Every structure is written in C-alpha cells, then in structure tokens.
Copies of this chain bind each other. A is one copy, B any other.
Amino acid sequence: MTKWVYSFGDGAAEGRADMKNLLGGKGANLAEMSSLGIPVPAGFTITTEVCTYFYENGETYPDELKAQVAAAMAEVENVMGAKFGDAENPLLVSVRSGARASMPGMMDTVLNLGLNDDTVNGLIAKSGDERFAFDSYRRFVQMYSNVVLDIGHHHFESILEDLKNSKGYTLDTDLDADDWKGMVEAYKAEVERRLGKPFPLDPEEQLWGAVGAVFGSWMNQRAITYRKLNDIPADWGTAVNVQSMVFGNMGEDSATGVCFTRDPSTGVNRFYGEFLINAQGEDVVAGIRTPQPLNEVEKAAAKSTLPSMEAVMPELYGELDAIRDRLETHYKDMQDMEFTIQQGKLWMLQTRNGKRTSQAALTIAVEMCESGLIDKAEAIRRVDPAQLDKLLHPMLDPKAEKKILAKGLPASPGAASGQVVFSAEDAEKWSEQGKKVMLVRVETSPEDIGGMHVAQGILTTRGGMTSHAAVVARGMGTPCVSGAGDIKVDYNARTFTVAGATVKEGDMLTIDGATGEVILGDVPTIQPELTGDFGKLMGWVDEIRRLKVRTNAETPLDAQTARKFGAEGIGLCRTEHMFFDPARIIHMREMILAEDEDTRRAALAKLLPYQRKDFEDLFTIMAGLPVTIRLLDPPLHEFLPHSEHDMAEVAKAAGISVDAVKSASARLQESNPMLGHRGCRLAITYPEICEMQARAIFEAACAVTKAGGEPVVPEVMVPLVGLFEELDMLKKVIEGVAKTVMAEQGVTLEYMIGTMIELPRAALQAGKIAESAEFFSFGTNDLTQTTFGLSRDDAGNFLKAYLDKNIIEVDPFVSLDRDGVGELVRLAVERGRAARSDIKLGICGEHGGDPSSVTFCHEAGLDYVSCSPYRVPIARLAAAQATLGGASGSTK
C-alpha cells in the first residue's frame, strides 16, 4: 500500500530532510527538525504524489488517503493532548502548501482550522481570552472563505469597516470580544448569502476543503507564472502540511519571529532576526507593528530603541540561539527559520536554506569553507554564477523609488543613468561637454561604436540578447537594455513615447541591465565591491575546473580587463571592430568601393599598419597566451557611409562621384545580410583582404617575438565556412603569407589555422573540414540563427510570445539549445576529433558566458569557452561547477 501521509512531532518523524521531492521543502524540514529533537508542533504531511494523483485522476484522491489522514490526525491529537473538533479541548491546525522548491506566497494557506461555534469555547477556556478566541475565529472564517470558497477579502473588510464606522472605532484593537463574536456571525451570514449555503462548521469538512484548495492552488495563475519564471516543472506537485496551531498572540508570554543564522545581506556570521511579542506570524511580515531586534548586537547595529529578545526573554533566546547552532551545523548552510512562543514555550515552525544577496552568498560560502563546515567543492557549488555577475556591476539602490517606464531584455548587466540622446554622434558631442548620456536607439550598428563607448548605458527598442547593442555593451561592460519594444522612438522629434509618457532628449533616464527595467529619472546606484572572498573562491574554482576560459576582445582595454578577470587567452578577436576608427574607416571604404584588384590592394595597404599595430598590442598584453583572430566577417555594406557628408568624404578620398558611392552602396545592399556576402565568402571573392590580414597578424607576431615578448602562437580563424573547399583555399593563402613574412622577418613562428563552426553544414561536414582545420571555434550565435532559422535582430518581438505561451523555456540566444544546436555541436566534436584527434575545440558565441551553456560545453568535451571580459569570472565558476557536476542550487 502506498504511504501517502508522513507524521512528525514529539522528537520523532517518518520523513527526513532528503525527502523533499516527496514531502516538499517545508514538510521535509519539519520532519528533520522533529527527529533532531527540536520542538516542532506535531503534524503530518500529505505527499506530492497525492498532488500528482489528484491531477491525473480528475481531481480525486487515492482511496487509502482518508484512513491515513485520520490515523495521522489521531497521532497529532495524542502528542498535543487535544482533539480535533472537540468542544472542550480542541486541536486547531494550519493547512499549508509545501512544494519541492520554495514558492513564497504563491499558494494557499488556512490557519486556525477546526474552529466552529462549539470549539471556539474550548479555545476560550484554554487561552482564558475570549477576545483572542473570537478574533481567531473570525480570521479563520475570512481566510477559509477566501481560500476555499473563493469569496474576496474585501467583502469581509467592508463589513468590518461598517461596524467600525457605526461604533466610531478607528483601530481593530478598539473591538472587544463581543464585537468580534458579532463579526463571526456577520461573516458567516455573508458567506451564506453569497453561496446559498452555510459556512461549513464540521471540522472534517473544513479540513478536506482546505486540503483540496491547497492542491488546487498549485494550478492557479500566480503559481504557474512563478514556476515558469523559476524553471519549476508543473509535474513536481506540492505537498500539504497539516500542523497543530501554536499561537504567538496568547498574551505577553507569547511571541513570534523570523531569524537567519547569519546576516542574509552581508553574509556576516551573526545571528540575525526580528520578533514581536503577543503577535501572529503575519504581523511580523505585514509590517503593521515595528518588529523588535533579536539580540543586543542587532539592536545596536540597527540603532533600535525597542527591547531585544535577548533582553526580555533571555532563557528562550538562549534556547533559540542553541537551535540556530544546531540547525546550521546540521544543514551546513545558512538557515532561515520561523518560530513562535506560546505562553512561554518555544516552537520552531520552519527552517530552510536562507535566501541571500550575492555578496552574502560569496562571504558565507568562503567562511563556511574556511571554518571547515563545508569543503571547497561545496563552497563553489554554493555560489550562483548569475549572482557573481551582479557583484561585478553597479546595481540600483534597492531602497530607491523607481518609476518603471518599460521593460526590455536584460542585455548587459549593471545599472546606469544619463541624459537621453538619440544618436551616437550626439552621445560623443554631449560627452565631450562633460555630460553623462544614455544612448537610446531603435538598434545600433558598428558605426555607433564611438557613441556607445562614451554612453553610461544603452537602450534599444529592437533586437535580442545577442543583437549588436547587447554584444558590444557586454564586451564593454556597459549596462544595456535591448529590445524594449513598447518604446516608440521618434528620431525627428528627438523623443520617445511609452505607455502614454513622452521622454525628450536631455531627460534623465536610468536602466537596469540586470532586469531590463527602463526607469524615468536618476535612480541612485550602489557600486560593487570585490572582496578578498571573491579572489579566494576564484582560486578554488581554478583548481577544479577542466574547461579553459578565454575572452572575446579586440581592444587593449578589453584585453586588459579580461586578464584582470582571469582570462586565459583571447578566443575571439573580431577584426572588423578595428576598422571603425575615423582614420581607418575611410580606407576601409576606399577598399570596398574599389572597382578592381589594384585599387583594392592599394587601400588595403593603407590599412595594414593599423591592423599590425592592433595585433602587436593584443599579443603584448596577452603575453604568450593564445589569441584567436577571426578574419573579416560582416557584409561590406556595414562599413559604408549613410550620411551625405560621409558619402562626400569617401567619394573624395576614393576619387569617385557621390553618385557612384550611392550606387555602390545600393548594389551592396542585401535582402538577408546575415545569409549574404560575408565571412569567408569575402575572402574567397577578394583573397587580397585575407592576405592583408594574415600579413598584419604574422608581422605583429614577429615584431613582438623580436622585441623579446613571450612567444606568440596566433590562431587564424576563417569564419562562416560551410564547405571544406573554402577553408582549403584560404588556408593556402594564409600559409603562403606566413611563409613569406617569416622569411622577410627572419623569425620562425608557430601558428594555427582553424575555422568557426557556425553553419549547420559545417557541423555536419566537420570531419572533412577537420582535415584542414587545426581548431574549431563554435560560433553558437550564428549557429543558433541558422539552426532555428531565426534572426537575432528580429526575434525580439515574437520570442516574447513564445516564452509567454510556453513554447520555449528560454531564449536560445541566451542559453544554448541542447536539442538542436547542441546536437550539431556534439556531432561536430565527434566528427572533428575522429578526423584529427588533437583538434582544439572551443566556443566563442555569447553562450560562452552563460552558466548553463558552459555546463553543456563541459559535457560536450570542449577545451575552452570564450566570453566577454565581464563574464570571464562567471564562466570560470560555471566551468568549475560543471566539473563538480552542477551547482548545489541551495541559494536559488
């Protein structure tokens, strides 16, 4: 026979802490505490399997359940010395949900269950407080009616309001026992009026009504939404905890409180909490009365004038403090506890791993490890990589008021404020005048790099997590919100409108790149502090992880930042970003507009010294670490001028007419540039571009080697290969240049030639391609685009609908799609290694900084991941967790 019900109480329990899947978090921990001999009001847990049964069988229960519940109730009665439904010595119970993962406030709870016109008299007798008893009764009627019978709170509140008005009361405390008694009657009458039948007075009926309501609440909209946001599967189900009531509001020797074994904000190892004398649990949470500090240290720190528990109930405080030690040592993690003192006796109502700030998570993990409570592996598991991200960026002051205008995608973390400008030029102009600017664009393009660099933050109304704005901002560590589609930008008017509001150029705007919020005005931010704990944890992380972590960087600043964050090389240097400097773009444009090879070569010759210098700088900074350089990738029209002024300039430089520039520009336009003349296709049609870049790479490597720097091993990467013939042809070109340059310079270099795997065909043909390629770098941005047939620049609008309708769980540009893109990656790894056993394998898409994707890369057997500089620590941590077999999830 299936066991559907697990009892606990009186120093024993049928369940254990590790039975969370069956008993839910709350039930498992109540059982565990009870087994530890910690005072827990007796009760029982109806398992999550009942919930599953309930939904699989048309909302009915297993046959055996009734009997098992009755038996468990009898045990509770026995332990507590009271009887459920008994008029003289009534047992009252709470009925609460309790899922495997905490879903605070999402599901229903009924307290004081078992009260009726008879048992209320028993409560009066036991408490000696008639007013308390009737107040409890009316609270029960209201709560039960709301939760089980679906009658809104406001109906009851207006009855109470009416009474207070008629009697001239202002506060609830003005009501006496008779008033509350009258309220009970009025509430019951209201229920009967609305339902056409009386409020259920049979405690048994009440119990099953409440149990059904809790199971039912698993599928309410709030709970569904919460689960979706927190990746909790619907089939986990919830347990139901039925537990005897204890009252913190039975006089001055009663109290209730919540506490943490350590400070959840800072992580400092100090007992932290709040309590209220003569109050119920919800009073602490509701914030009607100001809670008192738990102890004297806390009181001093909070500058409270209220007496502490340590002072007014020293004995009980001592008891609680001992339980704190007991639980933290037992659970080996910071605990979040609830307690109630009923007439001088301490009862523990809940314990669970406590939520904490990013800073606290780090501090607690490191301190617990150093004190020997947990080992390094566990300390590493305890820190969520996403939390680490927050530690590296400024965040909004949580106390500040926020007028949220819109929400976009959290494209690059950190919070920032600035005056709104609508063009990159203005951003640069205003910035030179000492102003802090917020760059607002429909979307950004490589031309906007200058303005993006000086902006405090970037807001776009189109494009996803891997749009140009998002990628560049993350690389710079600049906060960015992308794809805020509700915002309508009017470039001509220099305004944007959203939800009826109009924001003008020059207005202050704040964005939170960690949440995607767009906020009117200048919201204060808090700067991150990197403590010694960060360095310690990262040291442990590096001992454990197998995956190397490189960075995507092309500027000296990015490269330096990344090394500071522990990057072990450059996995992706996007050479095209180097051509937008005003001194260079003009030659780039000459090159593009060239009508023949000689003119093109002449323009390329002018670009060569710049490129060589770029690479010299990078090689010097990376000091012997590997540097992967991708050849020119984007379609050429991205470099062409748009404004009349720029067109005139380039026409002059190239010695052609403005009309010729315009018509060349029109000719280069493409219907789907993502699938157009780009990547290695440029080098196939114009091998001289590839030659110039290869020459710059090898000349720079020779120069750095000659200057006595660490030996440089450049990795030349050919992008967008779909056919092995493409790589073959370009490999020959690159090898030819390498040979020539080495002969010219009298230096012998090691180097590698490889390719990005970013097209499905390349993944399928990986075996053939690996015959030429010495390394693969998976370009999972483009591979996601082509595998899904999904443009990252256009997906913003409808991906939201996909998430809302539960068609996808997560944006595939954020977390690598294991089923589709992942299969191609695994297949390419397998075929590539079969053809060339020592092939070097890495990833350089944006997924390289996403913890779940890093785990995938570890499992797929890659050698390294590469990500933007600010994500390097996240990737390091995620890589270590992947080696350990995943994060503990305790703090999520």
Contact = CB atoms under 8 A, between A and B. Distances in A.
Given A759-B787, A761-B817, 6 more contacts: A672-B794, A676-B791, A684-B805, A761-B787, A761-B788, A765-B820
A753 B804 CA distance: 25
Contact of A820 (B761, B789, B806): B761
Interface in A747-775: 758-761, 764-765
Most buried by B among A488, A758, A819: A819
Interface string A692-723: 00000000000000000000000000001011
Given A764-B824, A765-B820, A807-B725, A798 B685 contact: yes
Given A672-B674, A675-B672, A760 B782 contact: no
A793 interface: yes
A663 to B, nearest CB: 8
A491 to B, nearest CB: 11
Interface in A633-681: 663, 670-677, 679, 681
Contact of A675 (B677, B681, B794, B807): B794
A724 B443 CA distance: 31
A729 interface: yes
In the A-B complex, the 9 residue pairs with the closest CB atoms: A675-B791, A761-B820, A672-B791, A676-B794, A760-B760, A671-B793, A759-B789, A670-B794, A725-B807
A801 interface: yes
Given A786-B787, A802-B684, A794 B673 contact: yes
Given A670-B791, A807-B725, A797 B761 contact: no
A785 interface: yes
A801 B685 contact: yes
A684 to B, nearest CB: 6
A795 B684 CA distance: 13
Contacts of A106: none
Interface in A269-299: none
B674 A673 contact: no
A824 B827 CA distance: 12
A357 to B, nearest CB: 36
A723 B798 contact: no
A608 interface: no
A449 interface: no
Copies assembled: 2
A89 to B, nearest CB: 56
B788 A759 contact: yes
Contact of A764 (B443, B676, B806, B823): B823
A729 to B, nearest CB: 7
A726 interface: yes
A673 B675 contact: no
Nearest to A485: B667
Contacts of A795: 676
A790 interface: yes
Contacts of A788: 722, 759, 761
Given A723-B808, A764-B824, A824-B764, A789 B675 contact: yes
Nearest to A799: B681
A791 B760 contact: no
B808 A725 contact: yes
Contacts of A670: 791, 793-794
